[in-house]
């Protein structure tokens, strides 16, 4: 099937929405959420809303079309939204979405029933089982008429009783047949025997089915992709889970043919731990992309969603924007300027440009910007939420707590005491400080809180604050602002020298505000240098 890139939606497309589509959108875009829901999971309830609100004017979507094997992003970066639109790429005739939690649990129970079985199965052998699992899912989810036309596929699926348990059912059956022979031995040896049976494949049922599948895909020039979305917690502290994911990464680096592809989504919050599991990082992560957003891309998302609101509730108003190009930075600013006041008073009573004030209180994630805009403009009383004067400061304060809770939730498994540690340390730090200042605060206030989590090392304390985006490196100052770098928007880790000037992220200094960090000569502006960047020379591949 020839690749045809998804056409960018235009304002004219919004004008052409019919009454059914408008009615469907009202359940998601309304006075309480004028910019739509922050979660893509909710949008899955409606194909119309999911498609209309999705914006393709960004490098994230551009790089996604380059067929990455692994997609890495933080919670709220748009992973689920991007993956859910794979079906719109005409390159793929079949898109197979496999529930990640179920797949990983099935695999672990089959190959590593207990921690004592880890080490009895080589990662190469376990990766073969993942490969077969993915191919089985493809076969099982083909249209019924296609399965019926492929006798070997039909016989294989019937043989493993795919509807009652999939590859796990087949592997478990092989184990159960030999349980009587176990007689006190290690179950790992039986797993090895079952894997040998898979590779030998007895009558060749699986190999014949796979050959038939590949013949069908080539004959019809059809491409298929299997997608595993990310989990928030892989419980890598359990050896059997770690080995399961290690095998999955190896499979991701090797899987596929011209017509069969695999896409694995991973949480950026666990990226470095997952890399450490890999036995061959260069091979397993050979084609991986990170979801990093530029300010202009997020501004385009907000401008588009504002136009969607107008189309639903003020159709005459949207016509004045009908000649604008959503791919033009100037036109995006025209749309934003039409409803955002140019300046606002911040929490200190000083004037800032509204857009700057909003952007610097995010971690450059779509969820954050959408949440902030909903917090500012949501109104249950006026006929249009954009008719009345709004307090950007008050709305941002409302959203700020939600953003902070989201970051805390994303890192909860790794840093369960993050909130209590921040509460007793960030309140003692000014907005700008040195490594020595941070070390003193750790010694006097942070060590006890870290010790309660079983850690009392300054380096781990500092790494935690850098990793969650609480502290970063301050750079150039001009006017009201100090440009700053934070790990969430750089490739890899943000490596800090003891000589670097450090700073607090506005979200964290806002939530943990105190007399120590309330005032300073400059405001922290995370990644100010990216504001004018259009991403022309940016790569998201890692």
- Predicted local confidence at residue 398, as pLDDT: 87
Name the residue with higher pLDDT: 481 or 193.
481
Conformation bin of residue 41: beta by default, left when phi > 0, alpha when psi is -120 to 50: alpha
> pLDDT at position 131, please?
92
- Is the confidence at residue 63, as pLDDT, over 80? yes
CB atoms within 10 A of CB 446: 25
pLDDT 10s digits, 497-526: 999 999 999 999 999 999 999 888 899 999
pTM over 0.95: no
Beta-carbon contacts of 104 under 8 Å, excluding residues fewer than 6 positions away, are 231, 234, 241, 244, 245, 248
> Which strands form 432-433's sheet, in the order they lie side by side?
432-433, 502-504, 471-478, 481-485, 523-526
Q: Is the pLDDT of residue 411 over 90?
A: yes
Does residue 189 have a pLDDT over 90? Answer: no
- Cα 320 to its chain centre, rounded Å, is 35
What is the arithmetic mean of pLDDT over 450-476?
Answer: 91
- Alpha-carbon radius of gyration of the chain: 26
Task: Quickly state the pLDDT bin for 179 (edges 50, 70, 90).
Answer: very low
Q: Work out the pLDDT band at 233, boundaries 50, 70, 90.
A: confident
Sign of CA dihedral 291, 295, 300, 303: positive
Residues 462-468, mean pLDDT to the nearest whole number: 97
Calculate what percentage of the chain has a pLDDT beyond 70.
89
- DSSP for 248-293? HHHHHHH---SSEEEEEEEEGGGHHHHHHH-S-HHHHTTTEEE---
Mean pLDDT for the chain?
A: 88
Q: How far apart are CA 387 and CA 13, in angstroms?
A: 25
Domain ranges of the chain: 59-290, 412-525
> Is the pLDDT score of 264 beyond 50?
yes
Greatest mean pLDDT among 329-338, 412-421, 455-464 lies in 329-338
What pLDDT was estimated at residue 235?
87
Confidence band of 476 (pLDDT split at 50, 70, 90): very high
The pLDDT score that the predictor gives to residue 182 is 36
Mean pLDDT (whole number) for 73-89: 91
Please state the rounded mean pLDDT for residues 226-254.
91
Q: What is the pLDDT of residues 90-138, one digit of tens each?
A: 789 999 998 888 889 888 888 887 777 788 788 998 898 899 889 988 9
What's the rounded mean pLDDT across residues 211-237?
A: 93
Instruction: Examine the pLDDT at 234 and tell me if it is beyond 60.
Output: yes
More confident residue, 197 or 328: 328
Using 50, 70 and 90 to split pLDDT, how confident is the model at 463?
A: very high
Q: What single-letter DSSP state applies at residue 299? A: H
Closest CA to 424 of 470, 466, 383: 470
Q: Check residue 172 and give its pLDDT.
A: 52
Mean pLDDT of 470-474: 98
156-170, 212-226, 479-493, range with the lowest pLDDT: 156-170
How far apart are the C-alpha atoms of 472 and 458, rounded to whole Å?
Answer: 16
Q: Is the pLDDT of residue 393 over 70?
A: yes
Q: Residue 380's pLDDT band (boundaries 50, 70, 90)?
A: very low
- Backbone φ, ψ for residue 541 (5° rounding): -75, 140
Is residue 49 scored above 90 in pLDDT?
yes
Predicted confidence at residue 114, as pLDDT, reads 77
- Calculate the alpha carbon distances from 103 to 55, 70, 99, 241, 531 in Å: 30, 17, 6, 12, 41
Q: DSSP states of 211-244 as a string?
A: HHHHHHHHHTT--EEEEE---S---TTSHHHHHH
Q: Which helix (DSSP H) or strand (DSSP E) does residue 351 occupy?
A: strand 351-353
**Which pLDDT score is estimated for 427?**
96
pLDDT over 70 (residue 312)? yes
Q: What is the pLDDT of residue 274?
A: 93
Tell me which of 290 and 163 has the higher pLDDT: 290
What's the pLDDT score for residue 192?
52
Rounded Cα–Cα distance for residues 287 and 73 (Å): 15
**DSSP states along 144-187:** HHHHHT-HHHHHHHHHTTGGGTHHHHHHHHHHHHTGGGTTT--H
Count of residues in the chain? 542
């Amino acid at each position: 099937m020839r690749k045809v890139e998804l056409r960018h939606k235009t304002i004219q497309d919004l004008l052409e929405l019919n009454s059914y589509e408008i009615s469907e959108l009202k359940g998601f875009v309304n006075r309480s959420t004028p910019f739509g829901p922050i979660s893509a999971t909710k949008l899955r309830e409606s194909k119309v809303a999911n498609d209309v609100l999705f914006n393709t004017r960004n490098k994230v979507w551009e790089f996604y079309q380059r067929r990455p094997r692994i997609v890495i992003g933080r919670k709220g970066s748009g992973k689920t939204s991007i993956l859910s639109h794979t079906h719109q790429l005409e390159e793929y005739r079949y898109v197979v979405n496999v529930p990640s939690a179920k797949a990983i649990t099935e695999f672990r129970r089959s190959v590593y029933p207990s921690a004592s079985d880890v080490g009895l199965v080589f990662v190469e052998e376990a990766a073969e089982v993942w490969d077969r699992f993915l191919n089985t899912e493809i076969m099982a989810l083909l249209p019924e008429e296609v399965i019926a036309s492929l006798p070997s596929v039909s016989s294989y699926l019937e043989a493993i009783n795919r509807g009652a348990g999939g590859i796990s059912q087949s592997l478990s059956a092989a184990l159960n047949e030999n349980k009587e022979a176990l007689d006190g031995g290690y179950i790992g040896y039986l797993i090895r025997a079952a894997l040998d049976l898979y590779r030998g494949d007895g009558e060749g049922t699986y190999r014949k089915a796979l050959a038939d599948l590949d013949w069908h895909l080539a004959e019809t020039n059809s491409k298929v992709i299997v997608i595993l979305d990310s989990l928030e917690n892989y419980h890598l502290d359990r050896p059997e889970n770690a080995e399961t994911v290690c095998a999955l990464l190896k499979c991701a680096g090797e899987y596929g043919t011209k017509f069969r592809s695999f896409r694995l989504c991973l949480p950026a919050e666990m990226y470095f731990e997952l890399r450490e599991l890999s036995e061959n990082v260069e091979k397993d992560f050979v084609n991986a992309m990170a979801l990093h957003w530029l300010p202009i891309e997020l501004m385009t998302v907000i401008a588009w969603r504002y136009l969607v609101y107008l189309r639903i509730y003020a159709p005459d108003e949207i016509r004045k924007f009908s000649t604008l190009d959503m791919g033009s930075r100037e036109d995006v600013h025209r749309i934003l300027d039409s409803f955002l006041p140019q300046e606002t008073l911040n929490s200190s009573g000083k004037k800032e440009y509204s857009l700057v004030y909003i952007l610097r209180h995010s971690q450059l994630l779509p969820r954050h910007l959408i949440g902030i805009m909903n917090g500012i403009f949501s109104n249950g009383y006026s006929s249009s939420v954009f008719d009345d004067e709004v307090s950007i400061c008050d709305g941002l304060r409302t959203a700020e707590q939600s953003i902070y809770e989201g970051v805390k939730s994303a890192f909860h498994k790794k840093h369960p005491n993050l909130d209590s540690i921040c509460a007793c340390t960030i309140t003692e730090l000014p907005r700008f400080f040195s490594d020595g200042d941070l070390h003193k605060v750790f010694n006097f206030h942070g060590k006890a809180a870290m010790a309660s989590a079983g850690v009392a090392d300054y380096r781990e304390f500092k790494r935690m604050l850098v990793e969650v985006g609480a502290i970063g490196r301050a750079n150039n100052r001009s006017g009201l602002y100090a440009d700053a770098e934070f790990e969430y928007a750089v490739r890899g880790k943000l490596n800090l020298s003891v000589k670097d000037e450090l700073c607090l992220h506005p979200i964290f200094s806002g939530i943990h505000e105190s007399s120590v960090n309330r005032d300073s000569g400059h405001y922290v502006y995370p990644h100010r240098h990216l504001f004018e960047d259009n991403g022309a020379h940016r790569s998201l591949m890692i």
